[in-house]
Amino acid sequence: MYGFISVITLLGRGNPLIILSKETQSSSGVQAKLISGGELICPAYHELCSTSTISVFGQCPNSCNFNGDCVDGRCQCFLGFHGHDCSKRSCPSNCNGHGKCLTNGACECENGYTGIDCATAVCDEQCSLHGGVCDNGVCEFRCSDYAGYTCQNSSKLVSSLSVCHDVLKKDVSGKHCAPSEPSILQQLEEVVVKPNYHRLYPGARKLFNIFGGSYCDAAAKRLACWISIQKCDEDGDNRLRVCHSACQSYNIACGASLDCSDQTLFSSKEEGENQCTGANEIKLSWVDQFRYGLFSGNSSTRAMLLWLL
């Protein structure tokens, strides 16, 4: 075995590890090297490892479960393990506080987060269904997602608009997401804005006008324009959802029951009016508020109002 590496495997793992000395032709002593698993490797160009003891190390609990190195009687756990005997699995970044660390070392993320370490926030599935982009839990609606659309000054758009001319004219200093070509913008009004307007203001709604003016007509027109030509944020990239208050005002004006909680289309109540499209809606008269309670309230409310009539 002269000139070769000799390997000695210690029997009975978990016992105190004994480092053996080394004898050569010149009788100089050289220590063997302790490696993982309790093995000793003799340096090359030496003969046999002798059995004379030169040092003793303490025993590690459960031999560190083979998930770490035993050093001076203590376990130094490998990555992914912890505990005094390296028997417990560790989760990446402790799941970042957004999940439960399972015994197998995997994170079980709570609702709203994903990834091996639960670090990535997710959006409601409705975000992608409505053309939104999820950016770390925030559903963004980017103007650039539509081919040919850019964020433009409202003053440049009004000349090409008919239905939405008066609506956008009130916000000429802002920017709105719309087609760059005037001809396509006009087509947008024909194939998107007008159909939305007729859905929001069907023929039956016109009967309401005998009670208090044309609030429903105006509210339906504004909402149809804002849904189709949304305002851009300050960075000039993301489209801003329609204000929650605008949806509520439409419901009140028309006695409708549009779902204003749909946050893929409408902002939440907590968001500021400056971060949505169609802010600062007009205040409705008591006639319209009464009308809303009559036609969209619950059955007991309607019964009471009809009794008062």
Beta strands 68-71 and 74-77: pairing type? antiparallel
151 — pLDDT class (breaks 50, 70, 90): very high
Mean pLDDT for the chain?
A: 73
Q: What number is the average pLDDT over the span 293-307? A: 41
Residue written as tokens 């204003």? Answer: 260
Each residue's pLDDT tens digit, 37-96: 444 545 443 444 444 443 335 688 888 988 888 888 889 888 888 888 998 888 888 899
Each residue's pLDDT tens digit, 231-268: 998 877 888 889 998 998 888 888 888 999 887 788 88
Q: Are 147 and 179 in contact (CB under 8 A)?
A: no
Each residue's pLDDT tens digit, 175-187: 899 998 989 999 9
What pLDDT is attached to residue 79? 82
What pLDDT is attached to residue 46? 41
Residues of the chain with pLDDT > 90, as a percent, come to 20
Q: If phi over 0 gives left and psi between -120 and 50 gives alpha, with beta otherwise, what is residue 14?
A: left
Q: How many CB atoms lie within 10 A of CB 105?
A: 15
Q: How many CB atoms lie within 10 A of CB 226?
A: 28
Pull the structure tokens for residue 120.
């990535």
Least confident residue range of 100-114, 133-147, 237-251: 133-147
Residues of the chain with pLDDT > 70, as a percent, come to 67
CA 46 to chain centre: 62
CA–CA dist 247, 258 (Å, integer) = 7
CATH class, range 91-121: mainly beta
Q: Which of 84-93, 212-221, 293-302: highest mean pLDDT?
A: 84-93
What pLDDT is attached to residue 1? 34
Same fold, 91-121 and 149-308: no
CA–CA dist 91, 45 (Å, integer) = 45
What pLDDT is attached to residue 62? 87
Q: Are 149 and 180 in contact (CB under 8 A)?
A: yes
pTM for this model (two decimals): 0.54
Pull the structure tokens for residue 283.
């205040």
**Sequence-ordered list of residues with C-beta below 8 angstroms from that of 286, at least 6 positions apart, any chain:** none
Question: 274 pLDDT exceeds 50?
Answer: yes
Residue 201's Cβ-count burial label (10 Å; 0-12, 13-18, 19+) is buried
Pull the structure tokens for residue 200.
């929001």
165 — pLDDT class (breaks 50, 70, 90): very high
CA-based nearest residue to 232, from 103, 142, 116:
142
Which residues on adjacent β-strands are paired with residue 69?
76
CA–CA dist 79, 132 (Å, integer) = 39
Residue ranges of the domains in the chain? 7-82, 91-121, 149-308
CA 80 to chain centre: 26
Least confident residue range of 6-20, 66-80, 165-179: 6-20
More confident position, 229 or 129: 229
286 — pLDDT class (breaks 50, 70, 90): low
Q: Which of 13-17, 25-29, 201-205: highest mean pLDDT?
A: 201-205
3-state secondary structure the chain: CCCCCCEEECCCECECCEEEEECCCCCCCCCCEEECCCEEECCCCCCCEEEEEEEECCCCHHHHHHCEEEECCEEEECCCEECCCCCEECCHHHHHHCEEECCCCCEEECCCEECCCCCEECCCCHHHHCCCEEECCEEEEEHHHCCCEEEEEHHHHHHHCCCCHHHHHCCCCCEEEEECCHHHHHHHHHHHHHHHHHHHCCHHHHHHHHHHCCHHHHHHHHHHHHHHCCEECCCCCEECCECHHHHHHHHHHHCCCCCCCCCCCECCCCCCHHHCECCCCCCCCHHHHHHHHHHHCCHHHHHHHHHHC
Q: What is the CATH number of domain 149-308?
A: 1.10.2000
117 — pLDDT class (breaks 50, 70, 90): very high
Question: 3 pLDDT exceeds 90?
Answer: no
CA-based nearest residue to 243, from 205, 273, 204:
273
